[in-house]
Amino acid sequence: MKENIKSRHQKHGLETSAVNTWCKGCGNFGILTALKSVLAKREDTLGSLVLVSGIGCHAKIVDYVAVNSFYSIHGRVLPVACGIKTANPRLTIIGHAGDGDAYGEGISHLVFAAKRNNDLVFIVHNNRVYGLTTGQFTPTSPKGFKGRSTPKGSIEEPFNPLRLMLASGATFVARGYAGKHAHLASLIEQAMVHPGFAFIDVLQPCFTFYNTYKFYNEKVVEIRDEHPVDDFDAAWKLAGKWDYGLEADQIPIGIFYRIRKDTYEEELLPKETPSLDVALHLKRHHF
Amino acid sequence: MGKRIGVEVSIAIADAVKLARAEVIPAYPITPQTHIVEHLAEIVANGELDAEYIPVESEHAAMSACCGAVAAGARVFTSSSSQGLSLMSEILYIPSTMRLPMVMVVANRAMSAPISIWNDHQDIMVQRDIGWIQTFAENGQEAVDLVLHAFRVAEDRRVSLPMIVNIDGFTLSHVIEPIELPTQEEVDAYIPPFKPKRKLDPRKPVTMGPVGIPEVYTEAKVAHDHAIKNSRKVILKAWKEFADHFGREYHPVESYKAEGADTILVTMGSISETAMTAIDKMRDEGRNVGLVRIRLWRPFPAQEFRAATKHAKVLAVVDRCLPPGAVCGPVGAELRSIFYKIPGAPKIFSFVAGLGGRDVTVERFEEIIDKAEQYSKRRPKELYEVIGVREK
């Protein structure tokens, strides 16, 4: 398997034959570019990489990268990813979800993945609108958002996903911007080497239904190196700088919080077999 | 009577819900149902309908909110499709046995995997036994009419059950058809204000949805079964009165050139209109064939169906659902049961067609009828046959 993927990548790189159907100008392209640039550097690990996606525009990303993938169902990226990781902890899992997936239908899974500290990377393509169903309000749409299900403007305050993750016990909390590929790539790279649940909320403009490029280009600032990433209170304060509303002074992007805690897999699996092979496990237990 | 205008069926359905004066609409977008609830959101926001629209976080939440809103005494509407309907599944059994009336339009869509947004009936067949009254529309006008009928029947105190109107996703939901919408006065005359038998009222406290210990669970379920069986009379009367009010007649089972036909094609939903064209063509060619369409799926109109097909020798039943490992499609199974050990019963052959948006053309219906007639002479190897499977 590994050999096949390797030889395939030597021939075609990470390209697939799938026709890309995202709208022109879609923020998903920025995320795809960042992801591919990280994967291109880590060719040796591609054989053990699995991408998992949900349902929505973001989910097509698995069609556009030539690695193993599981295109799951709306909201269920994390339980599927947890299942894969538990059965074969040697695999590296990157979960991709939309804001509907992660913060709407699948929010309980998100809270639990953070609580358990599952050893996964989770990238939320947060365009703050339902793109595939053509433009409705989502859990991170700002108050006053005029979408097709909220023609007079949403009356709800949006979630602040970063604070939600901090409160849920996530050990790696970051925010990226699809318009800054190199910065986002660096976040993905650091998330991949983080042991435990690595959460990246990516601000992703939806060119067709919620074009936020101008807003983000003006407001986004990279978090300074002096920010103490292991300080919860500092992270909480920084995450509160912008509450996903219509207004912002500055929108910090980068790593807000990063600490080392035992992962779910480290707690769950026998210490002497940190990289448990399922086949070996089954054989050993005479299944 | 309102004017007949060209309008997208989803929009017309939303307008019908407005005319029915729905009061609470909890909904979550899912293709191909989205236009219905989107238009309702617009109608509510414009102040054209005095209702609350809740853009909930999931279909599971939508159906739960529907139950709560009916319990509090409101007229409730929602809509869903496919995976969304399945996500409601845990809740769907609850309003029916608790006798909480509401109306849901299901824009029928295939179930994953593979992911498909296109039309068939697999989503609703998963929910066959939820104990809701269920009807199927063949075209846009029927969709509108059946929605109005559904409010009238569901909320009737003798019924007090939730009701689903099935419309084929895309084939109906996204097409523009000439549709006649009645006036508000006409609808008000047909659908009386909702007066729930029981509701959460601080002056008369009740406990809704408590545990059914083994001593009472069976009785609760039997009471529900009686309620849905007895709803038949109200369903028929509401259709009769619909004809008096609006001039369009509906029956649990509809026949087309079926009188005296040797072979009868059986369909449900929008493919019935193509099936009629196929019947016309075959009749012109001298074949003694007809069509029977099932409009009322639950409670199943066994008596009417037997009457509509009593002279037939062969039934060719088309299911738009493939239940893997079963003996045939759900409609086929139902019909085989109602004719079991009935003297002179027709021979019934089960076909599955039109999965995941695959068109069922006139030629396919001809093939189905030809095959059923051949099988009546020479027994087929399989209990059902999937039509139009590509070999490569």
Amino acid A2: pLDDT: 52
User: B392 pLDDT band (50/70/90 cuts)?
Assistant: confident
| Structural domains of chain A, count | 1
What is the pTM assigned to this prediction?
0.92
What pLDDT score was predicted for residue A13? 83
Q: Do the bridges between strand B4-8 and strand B176-180 make them parallel or antiparallel, or are there none, so unpaired?
A: antiparallel
Q: How far is A198 from chain B (nearest CA, A)?
A: 24
CA distance A104 to A133: 14
B378 DSSP 8-state letter: S
What residues contact B233, with CB distance under 8 A and at least 6 apart? B158
Q: What residue in A sits closest to B55 (Cα-Cα)?
A: A149
Residues of B in contact with A139 (CB under 8 A): 57
Residue A280's pLDDT is 55
Assign domain B3-246 one CATH number from 3.40.50.970, 3.50.50.100, 3.40.50.1010, 1.10.1200.10: 3.40.50.970
Say whether B39 sits in a helix, a strand or coil.
helix
- CATH number of domain containing A230: 3.40.50.970
Report yes or no: B57 at the A interface, CB cutoff 8 Å.
yes
pLDDT in tens, B26-44: 999 999 999 999 999 999 9
| Axis-axis angle for helices A107-116, A77-87 (nearest 10) | 40
Distance (Å) of CA A73 to CA A20, A70, A102, B253: 20, 10, 12, 37
- Which chain A positions have a beta carbon within 8 Å of B52's beta carbon? none
> Is B14 at the interface with chain A, CB within 8 A?
no
Kindly identify which residue of chain A lies nearest to residue B34, measuring between CA atoms.
A133
Cβ-Cβ contacts under 8 Å for A174 (sequence gap 6 or more): A187, A190, A191, A198, A199, A200, A201, A253, A254, A255, A256
**Mutual angle of helices A232-239 and A161-168, in 10-degree steps:** 160
- Share the mean pLDDT of chain B: 97
All residues of chain B having their beta carbon less than 8 Å from the beta carbon of residue A154 are: 55
Taking 70 as the pLDDT cut, the residues of chain A under it are 1-6, 10, 271-287
* Whole-complex ipTM: 0.85
Would you tell me how many other CB atoms lie within 10 Å of the CB of residue B39?
Answer: 21
Provide the 3-class DSSP secondary structure of residue A87: helix
Task: Name the residue in chain A with its Cα closest to that of B88.
Answer: A105
Q: What angle do CA A80, A86, A90 make, to 5 degrees?
A: 110
Tens of pLDDT, residues B142-152: 999 999 999 99
Residue contacts between A and B (CB atoms, under 8 Å)? 48
Does the domain spanning B253-386 belong to CATH 3.40.50.920? yes
**Whole-angstrom Cα distance, residue A150 to residue B258?**
48
Query: Domain range for residue A133?
Result: 2-284
Report the pLDDT value the prediction gives residue A275, as an integer from 0 to 100.
Answer: 52
**CB-CB neighbors (< 8 A) of A152 in chain B:** 45
Check B58 against A75: CB less than 8 A apart.
yes
Distance from CA of A32 to the nearest CA of B (A): 22
Does the distance separating the beta carbons of A139 and B37 come in below 8 Å? no
Is the CB of A149 less than 8 angstroms away from the CB of B83? no
Q: Is B37 on the interface with A (CB under 8 A)?
A: yes
User: CB–CB of A151 and B58 under 8 A?
Assistant: no
Which of B42, B53, B58, B80 to mutate to probe the A interface, most A CBs <10 Å? Answer: B58
- With vertex at residue B172, the alpha carbon angle to CA B169 and CA B177, rounded to the nearest 5 degrees, is 160
CB spacing of A105 vs B57 below 8 angstroms: yes
Structure tokens at A270: 């026998």
The shares of helix, strand and coil residues in chain A, as percent rounded to the nearest 5, are 40, 20, 40
Nearest-neighbour CA in chain A from B115: distance (Å)? 9
d(CA B246, CA B384): 40
Taking alpha carbons only, the member of B41, B359, B2 closest to residue A135 is B41
Mutation site, A53, A103, A107, A148, interface B, largest B CB count within 10 A: A148
> Residue A206 corresponds to which amino acid?
C
> From the candidates A58, A63, A105, which should be mutated to test the interface with B, based on the most B CB atoms within 10 A?
A105
8 Å CB contact of A151 and B83: no
Q: What SS3 state is found at A199?
A: strand
Nearest by CB to residue A150, choosing from B30, B31, B41, is B41
pLDDT 10s digits, B188-244: 999 999 999 889 999 999 999 999 999 999 999 999 999 999 999 999 999 999 999
Of all residues in chain B, the one with the smallest CA distance to A102 is B57
Inter-chain touch B34–A154, beta carbons under 8 Å? no
Q: What does the radius of gyration of chain B's CA atoms come to, in whole angstroms?
A: 21
Closest to B168 measured CA to CA, from B321, B278, B270, B18: B270
pLDDT mean over B288-300: 98
Across the interface, whether the CB atoms of A136 and B46 are under 8 A apart is answered no
CA proximity to B117, closest of B38, B170, B175? B170
Q: Could you read off the pLDDT of B122-144 as tens digits, one per residue?
A: 999 999 999 999 999 999 999 99
Q: Tell me which residues of chain A have a C-beta less than 8 Å from any C-beta of chain B.
A: 55, 71, 73-75, 104-105, 107, 130, 132-134, 136-137, 139, 148-152, 154
- Rounded to whole angstroms, the Cα distance separating B315 from B266 reads 7
**Domain boundaries in chain B?**
3-246, 253-386
Minimal Cβ distance to A73: which of B41, B53, B83: B83
Whole-number Å distance between alpha carbons of B160 and B198: 10
Annotate B320-331 with b (16+ C-beta within 10 A) or e (fewer).
bbbbeeeebbbb
